[in-house]
């Protein structure tokens, strides 16, 4: 072993985790609970959305707000669930593969993730276009009962489009950077 | 709790060193370490050869580390390696000198391309060419070439520090 090797080896071995093993294990448990809670929250939100959508089937009144918002739920819920269930994160089996195999798998996942971001952007713009058409129609042909919910829908759709575009831009940059790094490993 | 989880605790130093080779920010290091441990927890049931736990956990750490480079936008300038401080055998300053040398090594490693950095980190951890090749999914000849290039780059960085 050369002097250089000894120097590097001793420098390498010096590094130790700043927190003890018990604290690290506890933080892993906490993260697992957070993940479960988040998935429960997603399920509850979806069930609330479906309950609102199917309200007329159980005797609920079909107000103008319902007719305007119904397509929003019909388009929005399946898209969100599709994005969530497609799961672009590496699976436990993937991360235990060799680096080269993992890099190939991750590249495919990142490509799919970038495609999903494009779909999310398209969905948000389509919803905004729908809300604009609905609002113009409500103000041109509808009464006050239609105008207020149409205006609300346009506001929600605008906020939704802005948030989606911001999120998509931020996520897109991160995924592209990771994609470039992974491509160098294949 | 998955079986073997208690044995993973013994490998925290090795996992930490792997994490340090990908991330320099202390807060992000801890975050990445937690991400690695969570992935190990989830992947442990897929481990068939129980005596190969260390290569298994390091594979997870290096895969997530390589994937983590998305947050590393800029490589910082390497820390100065102070030869005067390193040559002093005084026990009071030895710890400080070793820490500085260790930090220098990680900052120098982060500047290397991933293809050269990974085999170098595994060699520093004590793996031989065959094991490194199996962990990275490349041939032993390729491991040799990458190690040679990586070591040459590290030596250049070290000599630059010495001159400075």
Residues A84 and A165 in one domain: yes
Q: Give pLDDT, residue B82.
A: 56
Q: Which of residues 25-64 of A touch B (CB under 8 A)?
A: 25, 27-28, 31-32
Whether residue A100 lies within 8 A of chain B, CB to CB, comes out as: yes
Q: For residue range A53-104, what is the model confidence (pLDDT) as tens digits?
A: 788 888 877 888 888 887 777 777 777 777 766 666 788 888 888 999 999 9
Domain end residue (candidates: B55, B73, B91): B73
**What is the number of structural domains in chain A?**
2
Query: pLDDT-derived band of residue B69, with 50, 70 and 90 as boundaries?
Result: low
List the single range of A30-39, A65-74, B4-13 with lowest mean pLDDT: A65-74
Length of chain B: 164
Residues A33 and A76 in one domain: no
Domain of residue B108 covers: 82-164
DSSP string, A123-170: HHHHHHHHHHHHHHHHHHH--HHHHHHHHHHHHHHHHHHHHHHHHHHH
Residues A76 and A91 in one domain: yes
Q: Is B130's pLDDT higher than 70?
A: yes
Mean pLDDT of B13-30: 91
CATH number (domain holding residue B129): 1.10.10.10
* Assigned token pair, B61: 């750490």
Domain of residue A37 covers: 20-61
**What is the number of structural domains in chain B?**
2
More confident residue, B132 or A21: B132
The 3-state DSSP composition of chain B as helix, strand, coil percent (nearest 5) reads 75, 0, 25
Q: For residue range A120-169, what is the model confidence (pLDDT) as tens digits?
A: 899 889 989 999 999 999 999 988 888 988 998 899 899 989 998 998 89
Residue of B nearest to A177 (CA): B70
Q: Give pLDDT, residue B73.
A: 45
The residues, ordered by sequence, that sit 6+ positions from B134 with a Cβ below 8 Å of its Cβ are: A98, B55
Residue of A nearest to B119 (CA): A99
Domain end residue (candidates: B41, B73, B105): B73
Would residue A159 count as lying in a domain?
A: yes
Whether residue A6 lies within 8 A of chain B, CB to CB, comes out as: no
Residues A66 and A143 in one domain: yes
* Assigned token pair, A84: 């969530």
Would residue A12 count as lying in a domain?
A: no
Q: Which residues of B touch A25 (CB under 8 A)?
A: 5, 9, 37
Q: pTM for the full model?
A: 0.79
Residues A24 and A115 in one domain: no
Residues B4 and B43 in one domain: yes
Contact A157, A82 (CB under 8 A): no
Q: Give pLDDT, residue B91.
A: 54
Residues B97 and B30 in one domain: no
3-state helix/strand/coil string of A72-135: HHHHHHHHHHHHHHHCCCCCHHHHCCCHHHHHHHHHHHHHHHHHHHHHHHHHHHHHHHHHHHHH
Would residue A76 count as lying in a domain?
A: yes
CATH number (domain holding residue B25): 1.10.1740
Of A85, A86, A72, the residue nearest A131 (C-alpha): A72
Residues B122 and B65 in one domain: no
Q: Give pLDDT, residue B81.
A: 54
Residues A148 and A135 in one domain: yes
**Integer angstrom CA distances of residue A140 from A70, A152, B91:** 21, 16, 85
Q: Is A21's pLDDT higher than 90?
A: no
Residues A35 and A102 in one domain: no
ipTM value, please give it.
Answer: 0.79
The residues, ordered by sequence, that sit 6+ positions from A145 with a Cβ below 8 Å of its Cβ are: A63, A64
Query: pLDDT-derived band of residue A39, with 50, 70 and 90 as boundaries?
Result: confident
Q: Give pLDDT, residue B74.
A: 46
How far is residue A110's CA from residue A88's CA, in Å, rounded to a whole number? 7
Residues A150 and A68 in one domain: yes
**Number of other residues whose CB lies within 10 A of the CB of residue A66:** 16
Residues B20 and B54 in one domain: yes
Q: How far is B127 from chain A (nearest CA, A)?
A: 12
Residues B97 and B46 in one domain: no
Handedness of CA B60, A176, A118, A108 (dihedral sign): negative
Q: Give pLDDT, residue A144.
A: 87
Q: Hey, are the CB atoms on A12 and B124 less than 8 Å from each other?
A: yes
Q: Give pLDDT, residue B164.
A: 60
DSSP string, B6-71: HHHGGGHHHHHHHHHTT--SHHHHHHHHHHHHHHHHHHGGG---GGGHHHHHHHHHHHHHHHHTTS
Q: For residue range B78-107, what is the model confidence (pLDDT) as tens digits?
A: 555 555 555 545 555 667 777 888 888 999
Q: Give pLDDT, residue B59.
A: 94
Residues A160 and A90 in one domain: yes
Residues B2 and B37 in one domain: yes
Chain centre to alpha carbon of residue B104: 13
Residues A42 and A78 in one domain: no
Residues A110 and A26 in one domain: no
Residue of B nearest to A92 (CA): B43
* Assigned token pair, B133: 């090749």
Q: Give pLDDT, residue A139.
A: 92
């Amino acid at each position: 072993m050369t002097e250089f090797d000894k120097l590097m080896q001793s420098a390498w071995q010096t590094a130790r985790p700043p927190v003890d093993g018990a604290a690290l294990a506890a933080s892993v448990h906490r993260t697992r609970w957070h993940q479960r809670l988040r998935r429960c929250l997603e399920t509850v939100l979806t069930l609330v959305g479906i309950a609102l959508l199917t309200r007329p089937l159980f005797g609920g009144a079909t107000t103008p707000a319902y007719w305007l918002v119904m397509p929003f739920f019909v388009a929005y819920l399946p898209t969100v669930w599709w994005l969530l269930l497609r799961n672009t994160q590496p699976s436990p089996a993937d991360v235990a593969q060799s680096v080269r195999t993992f890099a190939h798998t991750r590249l495919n996942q990142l490509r799919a993730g970038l495609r999903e971001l494009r779909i999310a952007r398209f969905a948000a713009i389509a919803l905004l276009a729908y809300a604009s058409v609905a609002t113009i129609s409500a103000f041109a042909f509808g009464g006050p009962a239609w105008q207020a919910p149409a205006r609300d829908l346009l506001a929600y759709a605008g906020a939704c489009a802005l948030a989606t575009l911001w999120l998509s831009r931020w996520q897109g940059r991160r995924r592209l950077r990771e994609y470039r790094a992974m491509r160098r490993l294949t | 709790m998955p079986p073997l989880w208690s044995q993973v605790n013994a490998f925290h130093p090795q996992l930490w060193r792997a994490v340090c080779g990908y991330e320099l920010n202390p807060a992000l290091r801890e975050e990445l370490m937690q991400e690695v441990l969570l992935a190990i927890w989830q992947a442990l049931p897929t481990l068939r050869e129980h005596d190969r736990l260390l290569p298994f956990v390091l594979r997870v750490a290096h895969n997530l580390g390589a994937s983590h480079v998305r947050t590393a936008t800029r490589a910082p300038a390497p820390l100065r390696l102070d030869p005067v401080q390193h040559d002093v055998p005084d026990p009071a300053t030895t710890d400080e000198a070793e820490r500085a040398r260790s930090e220098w090594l990680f900052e120098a490693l982060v500047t290397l391309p991933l293809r050269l950095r990974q085999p170098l980190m595994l060699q520093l951890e004590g793996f031989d060419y065959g094991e490194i090749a199996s962990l990275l999914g490349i041939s032993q000849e390729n491991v040799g070439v990458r190690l040679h290039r990586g070591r040459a780059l590290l030596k250049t960085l070290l000599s630059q520090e010495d001159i400075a």
